Amino acid sequence: MALWDKLKERALDMTSQAKTQAGKHKNKEFADASMAVCALIAAADGTISAEERQKTAGFITSNDALSIFPATELLERFNHFAGKLESDYDFGKVEAVQALSKLKGKPDAARAVIQVGIIIGGADGEFDKNEMQAVRESCNAVGVAPSEFDL
């Protein structure tokens, strides 16, 4: 089975797990980390196109795992991180990684955020090498081994 097929299969399982875990971690740190990982995935190739912004916004407002948060607040946080990445990628990445690192020592919340990242990475039907690298880096930021997610 190809890596993407395995990831798609796991993504279905992750969606329900992520909602359960997100419900347990309904707080600002989790919401910020979720939007930071979404922005990092959107910017994985070095830019965030208008189409990527639109698709990510659609994902944020329709994803079950994130439905526990007000969509407008999530979109505001996503746009914050995406804007930072667009204006100065390196500085924006530091800020996004800092938001993620607040989940270190909170393994259940950290794994749920990584699941959100994997789901968003595969939302367009392709989980490319840049998106995988962004998720690996996010795993390192939250203190979870990428191998737990076959990355």
Sequence letter at residue 56: T
pLDDT tens per residue, range 28-43:
899 999 999 999 999 9
pLDDT tens per residue, range 113-122:
998 898 888 8
Confidence category of residue 1, pLDDT binned at 50, 70, 90: very low
DSSP three-state, residue 4: helix
Going from N- to C-terminal start, the domains of the chain cover 3-149
Q: Give pLDDT, residue 64.
A: 76
pLDDT tens per residue, range 56-72:
888 888 877 788 889 99
Total H helices, total E strands in the chain: 7, 0
Q: Give pLDDT, residue 5.
A: 57
Taking the alpha carbons of 139, 143, 144, 145 in that order, is the dihedral positive or negative?
positive
Q: Give pLDDT, residue 25.
A: 53
